Amino acid sequence: MPERRVQVPEPPSPNPLPPPAQTSVRGRGLLPPERIARLTGYGFTAAADGYLYRPTSVDEIREVLALARECGRKVTLRGAGRSYGDANVGAECVVIDVSRFRQILSWDPATGEIDCESGVTIEDLWRHVLEDGYWPPVVSGTMFPTLAGALGMNIHGKNNFCAGTLGEHVLEMDVVLANGELITLAPRSELFFAVISGFGSLGVITRVKMKMKKVHSGDLRVLALAPASWDEEFSIFEEFEHQSDYMVTWIDCFGRGKHAGRGAFHVAWYDSGGPTGFDATLRPEHQDLPDTIMGVVPKSMVWRVLKMFCNRTGMHLMNWAKYKAGRVLGNGKNHLQSLVAFSFLLDYVPNWRNAYLPGGFIQYQSFVPKEKAREVFAKQVELQQKAHLESYLAVMKRHRPDKFLFSHAVDGYSLALDFKVTRRNRARLTKLCHDMNDLVLAAGGRFYFAKDSTLRPSDVRAYMGDEALAKYRAIKQSLDPDGLFTSDLMRRLEL
């Protein structure tokens, strides 16, 4: 296949987006125009018009699939739209959004097994099980993703090094294939490991049965540290790797020389709870995030303040201030924090992504084997500094490999980097990402489609390998021979 160079696309207008006056959707005109909607990836940089359907039953999904075929349209699957790039949008496609598939079908506090429709969100899950002393085994940095979308990407959490990915906790799931057939998959089948991580390319996940994690308190014990360099970051990861439940560190990408790699590290453990019976921290009221920051600033205002700082100088200052505050106030201190506050820090600030408008932002996350991670991440940050394109928010985690076909994890570390996109920096940013890719590929690293906007088909071939891609193509051919399921990500990466 010839290589197709991909640029970070033109930014769309701000969200919520009004229906476009002149739609780009063309075709046989059989689908109702009132279904046309402009959908964006979470970073605003990918946007496409499609025909939006929100089915509420398996039969309705079958009807939508049949309708798409009849009209000669492809189908894109969408959950809560929290993937940053173009995985959940499909230009001119019929879009099946599963967010109305939201019933919890059964819950057994004795075993921790829950059976639900796939549009159930991570928030729905924890609200349902926490008072019984359970928590989802793996959560992302936001509680809004659906289980369908979370499994489509096979999300990881800050506990990936010890708990694996979400897919590792699934006992069974139902999937509607392109021909309308409903199949049930369990971890013993090869298809299970392809559909989970398969970015909506193989079938519609409609029901998920999984096991929740037993907890005795709604709080975590958190240790805050302020590493001053890359060496300190990595030695903390190594120290706590076998004796913690969660680890995450934020990195200041403006730190240079001996300050390179400095950041704010958090190690956390499940708390053992009170000495007797029910622990009040398990109540949802204890978890709910406050409406104000520090008791004064309404949360809804915060993104406007952030927007004022959302430039190179402002973010240099904010990153420095965050590091200094951690160093002076929190270094080495322990505190209790609710599971929700620790896990979903970004959900504290509603619409924080608006701070990146009008151009939006991309996230770039690479996963590098442990032996090479320090070298690769340090070089990635040097490249950013050389290009004057430092990431405004950078987060590092520890990972372990898994058996899923499109696994992104390795026995090593990931660095997730948020970059503001503007008209002026788009081409340079694309080049920066490609240069960073080369470092990752040379080190045997991998990438994650939930976060991607700039990979090329050749990058995917390089890290996936011919054998895994051939396996994917064979499965795709058998489950979806007409290539009904697609997305802008799949088109871009020729998958």
Ligand X SMILES: Cc1cc2nc3c(=O)[nH]c(=O)nc-3n(C[C@H](O)[C@H](O)[C@H](O)COP(=O)(O)OP(=O)(O)OC[C@H]3O[C@@H](n4cnc5c(N)ncnc54)[C@H](O)[C@@H]3O)c2cc1C
Q: Which residues bind ligand X (CB under 6 A)?
A: 42, 77-83, 87-88, 98, 118, 140-142, 145-146, 148-150, 152-153, 155-157, 199-200, 204-205, 346, 450, 487
- CA-CA distance, 79 to 115, in Å (whole number)? 18
Question: Shortest gap between Cβ of 172 and ligand X (angstroms)?
Answer: 15
> Which residues is 50 bridged to in the sheet?
37
- CA-CA distance, 84 to 155, in Å (whole number)? 13
Question: Shortest gap between Cβ of 78 and ligand X (angstroms)?
Answer: 4
Q: Between β-strands 94-97 and 47-53, what pairing exists: parallel, antiparallel or unpaired?
A: parallel
Question: Shortest gap between Cβ of 408 and ligand X (angstroms)?
Answer: 8
Q: Between β-strands 213-214 and 134-135, what pairing exists: parallel, antiparallel or unpaired?
A: antiparallel
- CA-CA distance, 81 to 372, in Å (whole number)? 33
Nearer to ligand X, 260 or 310 (CB): 310
| C-alpha torsion 452→457→463→468, nearest 10 | 110
Question: Shortest gap between Cβ of 339 and ligand X (angstroms)?
Answer: 14
The CA-CA-CA angle for residues 83, 147, 288, to 5°, reads 85
The answer for residues whose C-beta is within 8 angstroms of residue 64's C-beta and 6 or more apart is 53, 55, 75, 94, 96
Nearer to ligand X, 80 or 310 (CB): 80
Nearer to ligand X, 63 or 435 (CB): 63
Nearer to ligand X, 40 or 217 (CB): 40
Q: What does the DSSP 8-state code read for residue 445?
A: -
Residue of minimal Cβ distance to ligand X? 149
Question: Shortest gap between Cβ of 190 and ligand X (angstroms)?
Answer: 17
Nearer to ligand X, 331 or 351 (CB): 351
The answer for residues whose C-beta is within 8 angstroms of residue 110's C-beta and 6 or more apart is none
- CA-CA distance, 367 to 349, in Å (whole number)? 27
Question: Shortest gap between Cβ of 417 and ligand X (angstroms)?
Answer: 13
The answer for residues whose C-beta is within 8 angstroms of residue 16's C-beta and 6 or more apart is none
- CA-CA distance, 478 to 53, in Å (whole number)? 26
Nearer to ligand X, 149 or 218 (CB): 149
Question: Shortest gap between Cβ of 111 and ligand X (angstroms)?
Answer: 25
**What DSSP element (H or E) covers 260?**
none
- CA-CA distance, 292 to 294, in Å (whole number)? 6
Nearer to ligand X, 67 or 345 (CB): 345
Nearer to ligand X, 45 or 142 (CB): 142
Structural tokens at position 223: 């240790």
Residue in 230, 179, 227, 250 with CA at minimum distance from that of residue 394: 250
Nearer to ligand X, 252 or 488 (CB): 488
- CA-CA distance, 39 to 77, in Å (whole number)? 12
Nearer to ligand X, 146 or 281 (CB): 146
Nearer to ligand X, 11 or 81 (CB): 81
Question: Shortest gap between Cβ of 87 and ligand X (angstroms)?
Answer: 4
Nearer to ligand X, 65 or 389 (CB): 65
Question: Shortest gap between Cβ of 388 and ligand X (angstroms)?
Answer: 25
Nearer to ligand X, 88 or 249 (CB): 88
Question: Shortest gap between Cβ of 320 and ligand X (angstroms)?
Answer: 23
- CA-CA distance, 116 to 297, in Å (whole number)? 37
Cβ atoms within 10 Å of 329's Cβ, excluding its own: 10
- CA-CA distance, 139 to 137, in Å (whole number)? 7
Question: Shortest gap between Cβ of 357 and ligand X (angstroms)?
Answer: 15
The answer for residues whose C-beta is within 8 angstroms of residue 14's C-beta and 6 or more apart is 44, 354, 357, 358
Question: Shortest gap between Cβ of 418 and ligand X (angstroms)?
Answer: 10
32-63 b/e (C-beta count within 10 Å ≥ 16 → b): eeeebbbbbbbbbbbbbbbbbbebeebeebbe
Count the alpha carbons within 13 Å of 316 in the hemisphere toward its beta carbon. 11
Question: Shortest gap between Cβ of 333 and ligand X (angstroms)?
Answer: 24
Identity of residue 212: M
